[in-house]
């Protein structure tokens, strides 16, 4: 297969041609560290594309290929039997809190084969290498190198996907968790306009840091790395080995609510993504958006052994003047006699969207605002009560927790654990997603109709052929949105374990 930089040779398996580890930009090393992505160097001999490129440096060791700063690679999955007509493209952005993950952990073959579409998965710079912001670090892109990597991969797709049977005019960007955050940021980014024609946000909100917040984080990191924060001493960071920079990044990587995010107020993201979507300044393309039923329950685990007094103390720390009203709607006594605090916070956090606006009432309201301008807006809730990643462990039921829908769409080791009823749901979801990529709407013959959000409906995704469209009024009632929309509160500002500690909850 010929790309604009040279030929690549992949391999075929299960009726899908796979081209793995294709460089879409130059290695961001040495002088290119903390710079916008540069064009890849051309090659002459045919490049072997049968294994993924190195994963970007990240928290945790992971498995598979080693980690490296030289990590800007992508993978292409395309049906082995193609007609002459160009195929729609699904461009997948992995999650992992902007601190972990890689394109090779998502296998695009199932969606490609089932729907006759092309799938692209990518790596992008993570953690301190992708989202560090310090004055003078670079002329462009400080705080957003990872986001610029995603855009470089999209431009590669525009130039090259035709050679793989894809249609550059029909590219749907999609991602889960931080990948979903990325999709929202790309919707709001002027340089990304025209690079895609549709968007899928799975369990991702629209969070960002201001320049002031990002620089403060950067200065704290520089000190932790043993360097001065003055512009003249940036060379200290540039000359340090990558391993030392990564070792100093513990606080920069942070936790679920204290890690890196895109930086707004800069040319590539002039308006915060949340404000851009709310005010109609985001790209106006078809959108499929949704979340899992018990999105944040697993993150409430630090409150598993909380007493009623500690639970109420934590609610007062988080909600201040609104705490009495919150406790009236979410009393400790309503959540059983085991793991009570965890289930209670899982419910109120999930309904209130206090995790970066993820799931629940704020998430639904954001969708409603987007749908005012875009008729092809579709909302879902993944409602399988016992997905493989959320089955009870030691008595704690994580339910349909964050990322639990992933094995249903992109094959992984966990996919083998699906029951027959869950495999039926997987088949339906793959077809819904494929239909959206092909037509901008999840209209799929033979399975339940999925109305647009403008029709006042959302899709409840259930195993065993039980998926169905329900009214948004039913969603709002179950999530207590009338209450949450009537009170003033902010996103949770500290990680759950920190909040639990402040409330006096002891951790095992």
Would you please indicate which residues are annotated as catalytic (active-site) residues? Answer: 177, 295, 402
CA distances to 1, 166, 266 from 78, rounded to whole Å, are 12, 8, 36
3-state secondary structure 325-372: HHHHHCCHHHCCCCCHHHHHHHHHHHHHCCCCCCCHHHHHHHHHHHHC
Q: What residues are paired with 457 via a beta bridge?
A: 471
Neighbours of 463 (CB within 10 A): 22
Residue (of 195, 182, 190) closest to 89 by Cα position? 195
Residue (of 388, 438, 407, 433) closest to 106 by Cα position? 407
Check the CA dihedral 264-269-274-280 and report its sign: positive
Pairing of strands 287-292, 377-382: parallel
- Whose tokens are 């909100």? That residue is 205
Residue (of 341, 333, 259) closest to 304 by Cα position? 341
Largest interatomic CA distance in the chain: 69
Return d(Cα 350, Cα 479) in angstroms, integer.
8
Report the run of H or E that residue 122 belongs to, with start and end. Answer: strand 118-122
Residue (of 90, 204, 102, 207) closest to 149 by Cα position? 102
How would you class 238 by CB atoms within 10 Å of its CB: exposed for 0-12, middle for 13-18, buried for 19 or more? Answer: middle
Reading the block at residue 138, the tokens are: 């670079």
How would you class 469 by CB atoms within 10 Å of its CB: exposed for 0-12, middle for 13-18, buried for 19 or more? Answer: middle
Return d(Cα 93, Cα 179) in angstroms, integer.
5
Q: How would you list the strands of the sheet with 377-382, edge to edge?
A: 11-13, 16-23, 73-79, 118-122, 87-93, 166-176, 198-202, 287-292, 377-382, 457-461, 468-471
């Amino acid at each position: 297969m010929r790309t604009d930089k040279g030929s690549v040779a992949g391999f075929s398996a299960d009726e899908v041609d796979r081209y793995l580890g294709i460089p879409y930009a130059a290695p961001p090393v040495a002088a290119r560290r903390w710079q916008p992505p540069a064009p890849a160097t051309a090659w002459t001999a045919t490049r072997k594309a049968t294994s993924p490129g190195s994963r970007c440096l990240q928290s945790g060791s992971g498995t598979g290929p080693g980690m490296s700063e030289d990590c800007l690679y992508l993978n292409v999955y395309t049906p082995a039997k193609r007609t002459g007509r160009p195929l729609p493209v699904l461009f997948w952005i992995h999650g992992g809190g902007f601190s972990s993950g890689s394109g090779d952990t998502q296998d695009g073959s199932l969606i490609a084969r089932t729907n006759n579409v092309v799938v692209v998965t990518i790596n992008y710079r993570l953690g301190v290498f992708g989202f560090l912001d310090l004055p003078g670090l670079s002329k462009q892109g400080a705080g957003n190198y990872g986001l610029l990597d995603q855009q470089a991969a999209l431009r590669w797709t525009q130039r090259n996907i035709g050679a793989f049977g894809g249609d550059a005019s029909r590219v749907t960007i999609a991602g889960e968790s931080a990948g979903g955050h990325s999709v929202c940021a790309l919707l709001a980014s002027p340089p990304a306009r025209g690079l895609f024609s549709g968007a899928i946000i799975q369990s991702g909100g629209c969070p960002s840091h201001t320049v002031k917040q990002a620089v403060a984080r950067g200065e704290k990191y520089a000190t932790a790395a043993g360097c001065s924060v003055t512009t003249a001493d940036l060379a200290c960071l540039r000359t340090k080995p990558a391993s030392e920079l990564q070792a100093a990044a513990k606080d920069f990587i942070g936790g679920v609510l204290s890690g890196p995010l895109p930086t707004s107020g800069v040319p590539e993201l002039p308006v915060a993504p949340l404000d851009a979507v709310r005010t109609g300044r985001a790209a106006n393309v078809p959108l499929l958006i949704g979340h899992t039923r018990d999105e944040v329950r697993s993150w409430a685990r630090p409150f598993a052994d909380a007493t009623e007094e500690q639970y109420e103390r934590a609610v007062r720390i988080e909600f201040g003047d609104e705490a009495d009203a919150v406790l009236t709607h979410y009393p400790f006594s309503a959540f059983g006699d085991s793991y009570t605090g965890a289930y209670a916070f899982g419910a109120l956090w999930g309904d209130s969207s206090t995790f970066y606006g993820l799931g629940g009432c704020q998430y639904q309201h954001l969708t409603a605002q987007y749908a005012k301008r875009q008729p092809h807006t579709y909302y879902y809730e993944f409602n399988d009560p016992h997905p493989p990643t959320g089955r009870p462990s030691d008595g704690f039921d994580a339910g349909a927790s964050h990322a639990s829908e992933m094995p249903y769409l992109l094959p992984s080791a966990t996919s083998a654990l699906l029951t027959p009823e869950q495999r039926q749901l997987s088949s339906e979801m793959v077809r819904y997603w494929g239909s959206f990529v092909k037509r901008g709407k999840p209209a799929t013959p033979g399975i339940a109709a999925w109305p647009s959000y403008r029709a006042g409906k959302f899709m409840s995704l259930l195993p065993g052929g039980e998926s169905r469209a329900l009214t948004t009024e039913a969603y709002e009632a179950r999530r207590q949105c009338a209450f949450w929309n009537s009170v003033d509160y902010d996103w949770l500002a500290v990680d759950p374990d920190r909040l639990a500690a402040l409330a006096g909850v002891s951790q095992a």
